[in-house]
Copies of this chain bind each other. A is one copy, B any other.
Amino acid sequence: MTIEEIDRLIADSMFVNIGFIDSTGNPSIRRAFCTWHKGIGKHLISTNTSSMHVQALLLNSDACLYFENSKAFEGICLQGKAIVHFEKEFKEMCWKDGDEQYYPKGVEDEDYCIIEFTAENGRYYRYDGIGNITKQEIGLFDHSKEYVDNYDRLMERGE
């Protein structure tokens, strides 16, 4: 896969699988909405502070994100760090109409937080080959990129 194809796979995904290490030291996976991306290297996920994966990430920020398209037999596993943000700046940026059903107190609800994942490296899997991308390649590709939310575009496509 080219880095442009990896970028397209991520941009066209509505969900991601988050891999993390739980409080007992065992690997765990949680699936989440993930439509905010800054190129390939940075991703935002709105979630509940009380959820098990957030509590685990607060203790151990080592994590991975796996974006995949089963129909195309392609996937990318990014390894890196997941930082949990409680700052209003992140929470306001990601807030969507309707989020009140999950967070009744609104943007300042203490159960509302934003996971920011930063990639250190990646490994892609496709029918035509497996390979790695480095932090340097990600940095070059992402240079001058800003955070973009693809949610509305994906909803319009009926994903």
Identify A27's interface contact among B14, B20, B125, CB under 8 A.
B20
The reply on A19 being an interface residue by CB < 8 A is yes
Contact A17/B29 with A52-B123, A123-B52 known, Cβ cut-off 8 Å: yes
22 contacts between A and B (CB under 8 A): A15-B70, A17-B17, A17-B29, A17-B66, A19-B27, A19-B29, A20-B27, A21-B21, A21-B27, A22-B79, A26-B62, A27-B27, A27-B62, A27-B79, A28-B64, A28-B77, A28-B79, A30-B125, A31-B68, A31-B70, A31-B125, A52-B123
| B27 and A63 form a contact (CB under 8 A) | yes
The reply on A39 being an interface residue by CB < 8 A is no
Q: Interface of A with B (CB < 8 Å)? A: 14-15, 17, 19-22, 25-31, 52, 62-64, 66, 68, 70, 75, 77, 79, 123, 125
A64 to B30, CA, bound (A): 11
Name, among A15, A19, A20, A70, the residue most crowded by chain B CB atoms within 10 Å (CB to CB): A19
A137 to B17, CA, bound (A): 26
